[in-house]
Amino acid sequence: MFDTVVIATDGSASGRRAVTVALDMARRFDATLHALYVVDESDVEASPAAVRDELRAALEDAGREALAAVRGEADREIRTAVREGKPVAEICGYAREVDADVVATGTRGRHGEHSFLLGSVAEGVVRRSPTPVLTVRQLDPDEEPLTRPR
C-alpha cells in the first residue's frame, strides 16, 4: 500500500513526533524512506543582505542535524535531502520526484502557533500535495508520548 514514504521535517517537536509515526509506517509496509528538510527562502531573503550567506549556512546545518536525527531513529536505509525554496512547493515537488505514496509532516513547525488547526506549511502541503498527507500533531504536555511497538 505504501511503498515510498517522505518525511518532511524541520527538527521541531511536532516534526520529531511525525518522524516516529512515519518510521513506524515505513517499517510496517517495508517502504522506502525519504526525509526532506527545506530551508525557507523567505527566511533567508528577509534577513539583511550582509548576513544572508551565514543564515543560509546555519539553516542548512540545522537541516543536516534534523536529517541526522531522522537517520539515527531509522532501522533501515533512508535517503535524505536539504532543499532551499518555498517549503510547500519543495515538499510537494519532492514527493512527485520520488513518486511518494504518502508525505508525513508535523502540524506545528519552527514558527509555532500561527494557524488555528494546522501550521501554514502543513496546511499548504495538505492542500497541494499530489499524494496523501499524514499530519501528526504534537502531544500536549499531559499526554502520554508515542512509543514504538516492539
Cell of 75: 532501522
User: Residue 10 corresponds to which cell in the numbers above?
Assistant: 524541520
Q: Which tens digit of pLDDT belongs to each residue from 64-82?
A: 999 999 999 999 999 999 9
CA separation for the pair 25, 115 (Å, rounded): 27
Task: Look at 14-18, 40-44, 130-134 and tell me which has the smallest mean pLDDT.
Answer: 14-18
Q: Quick: pLDDT tens for 86-106.
A: 999 999 999 999 999 999 999
Query: What's the pLDDT score for residue 144?
Result: 59
The residue whose grid cell reads 508520548 is 145
Instruction: Kindly compute the dihedral angle of the four CA atoms of residues 91, 97, 102, 106, in this order, to the nearest 10 degrees.
Output: -20
Task: Give the global pTM.
Answer: 0.84
Residue 132 has pLDDT above 80, yes or no: yes
pLDDT band at 115 (very low <50, low <70, confident <90, very high): very low
Taking the CB of residue 42, how many other CB atoms lie within 10 A of it? Answer: 10
How confident is the model at residue 14, as a pLDDT?
Answer: 72
Reduce the secondary structure of 65-85 to three states and give it as a string.
HHHHHHHHHCCCCEEEEEEEE
pLDDT of residue 114 exceeding 50, the answer is no
Q: How confident is the model at residue 145 (pLDDT cuts 50, 70, 90)?
A: low
Which cell is 118 given?
494546522
> Which structural domains are found in the chain, ordered by start?
4-136 (3.40.50.620)
**What percent of the chain clears pLDDT 90, i.e. is strictly above it?**
71
Residue bearing cell 535517503: 79
What length does the chain have? 150
What confidence score (pLDDT) does residue 147 get?
57
CB 120 within 8 A of CB 111: yes
